[in-house]
Amino acid sequence: MGYENVFYKNPDVLRESNLDKAILDNKLCGNISQVLLSKEKKVWLDWNSNIINSYACNILKNIDKLEGIILSPEIKKEDLEKIDTFSLKKGIVVYGKLRVMYIEKNIDDVTEIYNEQGDKLLLYKINFRGGNNLISTSNLSVQFGGRKLFDEVDIKFTSGNCYGIIGANGAGKSTFLKILAGEIDAGTGDIIIEKNKRMSFLKQDHFAFEEVSVLNVVMMGHEKLYEIMQKKDALYSKSEFTEEDGMIAAELEGEFAELDGWEAETNAEKFLVGLGVMPELHHKLMKELTEPEKVKVLLAQAIFGNPDILLLDEPTNGLDLRAVTWLENFLLELENTTVLVVSHDRHFLNKVCTHIADIDYSKIKMFVGNYDFWYESSQIMLELLRNQNKKMDQKKKELQDFIARFSANASKSKQATSRKKQLDKLQFEDMQVSNRKYPFIEFKQDREAGNNMLKVEGLSKTIDGEKVLNNISFTINTGDKVVLLGRNDIAKTTLLQILAGELEADSGTFEWGTTTTQSYFPKDNTEFFENVDMTLIDWLRQFSSDQHEEYVRGYLGRMLFSGEEAKKQAKVLSGGEKVRCMLSRMMLAGANVLLLDNPTDHLDLESITSLNKSLIKFSGTILFTTHDHEFIETIANKLIEITPNGALEKEMEYDEYIEDEDIQARLNEMYK
């Protein structure tokens, strides 16, 4: 059954404006915000609007099993009825930018409306096929200590969709998945799972299967199938096989076949290879694997056996970019599985998610579309709210001035009273502001660097008997934003340490331009905080040329350490708080070269987004490492891959780089 029919129709507004971004008035903005952000499931496709085309089309290409409306000058009812359902299911473009999925041949209503140019537009209400609610919550409330984490949450997750669970640090994203999985008591309310549906939850205990072979660990992901396999093995290993054993064996074989048991081992191997666990490791015990390999095995376990409901908590952590790409494609191919994923990887959320579930104020709000759509539409809402509040503040001041001037004037006393009531009403109707906060990150260079930036020749370095850098050479020009790639994280970290002066190379040289100044963000910041008995104010003051407390507090406030938060002891900070402090330190440096080693580790999505934007905006030179696809794609103009046999340097888009077969073939040779 589909969602309840709820549609926003205001032909007058649509007739009055062409929805051009430049001429949006307050009324129209409000209407757009309703379309984009309403709790009800609404879908719009406009004909010419920058705003709607950039956002609503994004909804349409990801939408699945909803009811909505389509606005178009082109599409006729009879044409819609002729569109092939299978093509639409696959998201094939029809009629320009329009994309729909799972459409039924049921067009309930057609309304003629006109834009200001007099062009006739047709408004269609279309029923999309409703998916099954595989898992849902009813009146769910959870409290930890004195804090209410969830308050009367009612939400449904339907088959075939992928839901990105987002929220500020501490909002309860991982807790919510554990509640759904039954690992944490739900408190009050109900978790409703459709009968006979199998749930799989990505486990994070990397030492739980130390004495089990890799293949068996993966197949243990389907508990029923694995149980049948064990029963079969025990039965067939008996020295004496009775008639009763034969009957039991026949039943087991039937169940085994129904669960696609004959392909189980092949599928498990396919998943492992796809994630980068090579065949020579498949029959080894888990204890013989490295930590990154264990991560991949547990992920393969979670996705094995086509679960009906798949819960993934930070599935891309510890995965290399190639494994992440494989996982993205795997999830995109799932048709009937309901996927809920918690992740700080924005590219991953954008690629796989059809919906975003935002945990805010102990509620969960559902939005159609991927993370970028949620973010952009949220920014529109914030801007609308700011504008409205600005106008409200101006209105309040006008009212207050009027009351002050005329309250003693008998002839205008009624008017003054009326306006005071308006003021009271404005205060009463003030909109609730989201508790999500974005840090303000801005890197400014005290002086611009000259033309000579950095030249590296023949750098080599051996650590603990392993040669991590071997004859590395490259040149970086002023203004370049360079990502260091490579399968060995130690190699990339070592190179940055050498360039930052933290480590000496065994051989080779590097030379910075005389006008360059470097600021280094290390991967491990322990030495900056461990056993440091300072407040954050005093800690940051060490790195500031201006020692005034107000000045230092300003930089801490930008990173969300305001008020009493600025008096925290540096030694008790969380991982994310430490990273924000290190970024504050870098902002104070005023360097024209930034060296960043995995700066997104430990950060929440809000901080990652802010950092991403600041690095795009920065006019200086950047060298960075990251596992964040979005970072690379949006920041880097040069790619340098560090291999066991030198460096490969390319100026091209990252997506083109990983898809170029010649480049990848060359890299495979360099890694031998």
pLDDT tens-place string over residues 312-334: 999 998 888 889 989 998 998 88
Average pLDDT of span 293-299: 93
Classified as helix, coil or strand, 166 is: strand
Assign 389 a pLDDT band (cuts: 50, 70, 90): low
Q: What tokens were used for 31?
A: 């209407």
Nearest-angstrom CA–CA distance, 384 and 31:
11
Q: Which residues, including other chains, have CB under 8 Å from residue 387's CB and lie 6 or more apart? A: 26, 29
635 pLDDT band, cuts 50/70/90, is very high
* CA-wise closest residue to 225 among 266, 274, 260: 260
| Predicted confidence band of residue 562 (pLDDT cuts 50, 70, 90) | confident
Which range among 13-27, 192-206, 447-461, 518-532 shows the weakest confidence by mean pLDDT? 13-27
Give the residue, 68 or 102, on which the prediction is more confident. Answer: 68
The count of other CB atoms within 10 Å of the CB of residue 463 is 13
**pLDDT at residue 592, as a whole number:** 96
pLDDT, residue 39, reads 28
Say which range, 50-54, 349-353, 543-547, 560-564, has the weakest mean pLDDT.
Answer: 50-54
Under the banding of pLDDT at 50, 70 and 90, the label for residue 621 is: very high
From CA 616, how far away is CA 27, in angstroms rounded?
34
- Residue range 508-534, pLDDT digits in tens: 999 999 999 999 999 999 999 988 899
Question: Dihedral of the CA atoms 501, 584, 489, 313 (nearest 10)?
Answer: 170
Which residue in 60, 66, 64 sits closest to 45, CA to CA?
60
Mean pLDDT over 614-641 rounds to 94
Q: DSSP for 552-563?
A: HHHHHHHTT--G
Band the pLDDT of 638: cuts 50, 70, 90.
very high
On average, the pLDDT of the chain sits at: 76
Q: Break the chain down into helix, strand, coil percent, rounded to 5.
A: 45, 20, 35
* Tokens found for residue 167: 């929220």
Q: Average pLDDT of 609-613?
A: 94
How many CA atoms are closer than 13 Å to the CA of 35, on its beta-carbon side?
Answer: 27
pLDDT in tens, 26-50: 222 233 323 332 323 333 333 233 3
Predicted confidence band of residue 239 (pLDDT cuts 50, 70, 90): confident
